[in-house]
């Protein structure tokens, strides 16, 4: 395919492609959809996790990681969930399920590991920002994790065309979203929002996906500004280790909306790097 080739993806075609994607396993779907449910007990969560050996092993590794500084060895699933808490357990389920959801497509230019490194770091950073602001950080983690999920939709549904997008981006040194629009006439925001609606994600998470590049849009949940700032921070910290990564434009409106000070951001930077390092070693 050449630079001048027209390939226009219509939104209805995108939705049809999304419907062909496999659905999430029931346990993960429940975890992702019922974010506002604060009543999930540790026993209930543990019972479901016990059916998945992969998640069980990762939870035990996380509970024994240096980040949590546990002096004694955690050897049972019950001990791990009790120590980590419901929210951390749910977050690991989200990470594990989604990271295994989309197989590496026939798209040589797509760096699958760098994508997930960025997604995990943005989730951790968004959660840390929301903690600092005393917001509901369970939503923030999920929104940060899913903000770029449209990239996986595009690379899974249109691998050849997305490969051209990435090669075009590298040649022109453009921002990814501009390269997507130039080659495919649709971007990962459109694709991610279509997937979020199809999978019945909460309105707050949908708004974060919709506004993570343009959080100043009217009537968006404040979570869009949190994820936007987290996305920029993670790009600036270069946690994805992607040589073609480019720093996105920072929205002054989002920056002003959060109203955080220098000390807040220094703490967020440090905590993001610490927690990301712990999760990254376990999930990827």
Residues 255, 148 share a domain: yes
Whether residue 274 sits in one domain with residue 162: yes
Out of 61, 83, 100, a domain closes at 100
Cα–Cα distance between 51 and 47 in angstroms, integer?
A: 7
Q: Is residue 199 part of a domain?
A: yes
Last residue of a domain, one of 100, 124, 150: 100
Quick one: 241 and 180 in the same domain? yes
| 258 plus 118 within the same structural domain | yes
Q: What is the pTM of this model?
A: 0.79
What six digits make up the tokens of 70? 């546990």
| Res 90: pLDDT | 75
Which structural domain, as residue segments, surrounds residue 189? 11-22+105-283
Q: What is the pLDDT of residue 2?
A: 41
Residue 88 is predicted with a pLDDT of 79
Same domain? For 153 and 38 the reply is: no
Residues 145 and 225 in one domain: yes
Q: Cα 246 to chain center, whole Å?
A: 17
The total number of structural domains in the chain stands at 2
Task: Evaluate whether 146 touches 196 at the Cβ level (below 8 Å).
Answer: yes
Residue 41 in tokens: 């007990």
Q: Are residues 81 and 109 in the same domain?
A: no
Same structural domain for residues 40 and 85? yes
Q: Are residues 152 and 207 in the same domain?
A: yes
Question: What is the chain's pLDDT, residue by residue, as a tens digit (284 residues)?
Answer: 344 455 677 777 777 776 666 555 555 555 555 434 556 666 766 776 776 666 777 788 888 876 766 666 777 777 888 888 777 777 777 777 776 666 655 888 998 888 888 988 999 999 999 999 998 766 888 889 889 989 988 988 889 999 999 999 999 989 999 999 999 999 999 999 988 888 778 888 899 999 999 999 989 999 999 999 999 999 999 888 877 777 888 999 999 999 999 999 999 999 999 888 877 777 66
């Amino acid at each position: 395919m050449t630079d001048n080739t027209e390939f226009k993806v219509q939104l209805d075609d995108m939705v049809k492609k999304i419907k062909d994607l496999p659905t999430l396993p029931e346990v993960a779907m429940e975890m992702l959809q019922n974010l506002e449910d604060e009543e999930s007990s540790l026993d209930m969560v543990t019972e479901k996790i016990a059916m998945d050996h992969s998640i069980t092993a990762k939870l035990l590794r996380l509970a024994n990681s240096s980040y949590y500084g546990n002096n004694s060895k955690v050897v049972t699933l019950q001990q791990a969930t009790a120590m980590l808490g419901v929210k951390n357990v749910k977050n690991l389920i989200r990470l594990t399920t989604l990271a295994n959801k989309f197989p590496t497509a026939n798209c040589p230019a797509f760096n699958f590991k760098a994508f997930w490194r960025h997604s995990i770091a943005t989730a951790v950073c968004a959660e840390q920002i929301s903690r600092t602001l005393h917001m509901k950080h369970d939503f923030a983690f999920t929104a940060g994790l899913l903000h770029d999920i449209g990239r996986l939709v595009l690379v899974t549904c249109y691998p050849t065309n997305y490969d051209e997008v990435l090669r075009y981006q590298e040649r022109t040194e453009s921002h990814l979203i501009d390269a997507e629009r130039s080659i495919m006439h649709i971007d990962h925001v459109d694709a991610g929002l279509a997937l979020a609606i199809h999978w019945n994600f909460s309105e707050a998470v949908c708004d974060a996906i919709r506004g993570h590049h343009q959080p100043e849009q009217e009537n968006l949940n404040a979570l869009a500004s949190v994820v936007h700032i987290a996305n920029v921070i993670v790009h600036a910290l270069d946690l994805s280790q992607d040589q073609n990564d480019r720093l996105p434009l920072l929205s002054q409106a989002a920056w002003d909306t959060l109203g955080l000070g220098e000390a807040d951001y220094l703490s967020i930077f440090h905590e993001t790097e610490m927690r990301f390092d712990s999760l990254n070693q376990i999930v990827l």
